[in-house]
Amino acid sequence: MENEKEHTLQRLRDREANLGQQSRELQSRILELEERCQGSAKKVLQDVAGGVASATTSKKMQEEATCSICLHLMAKPMSINCGHSYCRACRLRLLGLGSSSRSQLGTGTFSCPQCRAPFQRGSLRPNQQLGSLIAALRELEQELSRQEHGERLHLFCKDEGQLICWRCEHDPRHKGHATALVEDTAPATGKSPRKR
């Protein structure tokens, strides 16, 4: 019995150490992204488009800018005290759910979905630098799509809010997304769709 307790305690310590390491790595990545965002979003876009950053780096940046809740590039990213960021809508939706769907440590106190660090509801803050980086990544994706396929961007991806070509529609990034012809989309909204 005593041996089982020691074994269980050791497993818990190991898991705690592993989670701590993962948390430090994620915080380091966030700091790296925030440092990259210090310059203008245009500069980042020019550097990436100019070939300074490799395709691997671009993919890594996209992974870092992906919301861990909805698994899409973050829309209006919000940061919490631990440094993790999420889509504004995803984070607010989680805060508004019943107690069975969130970790509530006290009145108005919640846990980060990634590292379980506590934070107050009022500590959510917009991460404008990450938002600028994501906008630059979306523009880069559009440029790469045009360069890659050489096709006219005549479809509007409703899920991503961006113009795409017919080849992009079949790309895994847009698979299963709702799309419409640009001509059909513009009159319905009263404004033309934005390019990504």
The CATH number that applies at residue 108 is 3.30.40.10
Structural domain contains residue 70 = yes
Start-to-end C-alpha separation, the chain = 60
pTM of the model: 0.44
User: What is the Cα–Cα distance from 142 to 168, expressed in whole angstroms?
Assistant: 10
Q: Is the same domain home to 80 and 11?
A: yes
- Exposure on the CB side of residue 120, measured as CA atoms within 13 A: 2
Query: Which range marks the domain in which residue 120 is found?
Result: 2-130
Q: Is the same domain home to 110 and 45?
A: yes
Angle among Cα 112, 33, 133 to the nearest 5 degrees reads 105
Structure tokens at 125: 């803050």
Q: Is the same domain home to 83 and 174?
A: no
Per-residue pLDDT in tens (0 to 9) along the chain, 196 residues: 788 888 888 888 888 888 888 888 888 887 777 776 655 555 545 544 444 344 556 677 888 889 988 998 888 999 988 889 999 888 888 777 544 444 444 457 888 888 988 888 778 889 888 888 888 888 877 766 565 667 777 788 888 777 788 888 888 877 888 888 877 765 444 444 444 4
Helices and strands, number each (H, E), in the chain: 7, 9
Closest CA to 58 of 45, 71, 77: 45
Q: Is the same domain home to 30 and 123?
A: yes
Cross-strand pairs, 79: 85, 125
Neighbours of 144 (CB within 10 A): 15
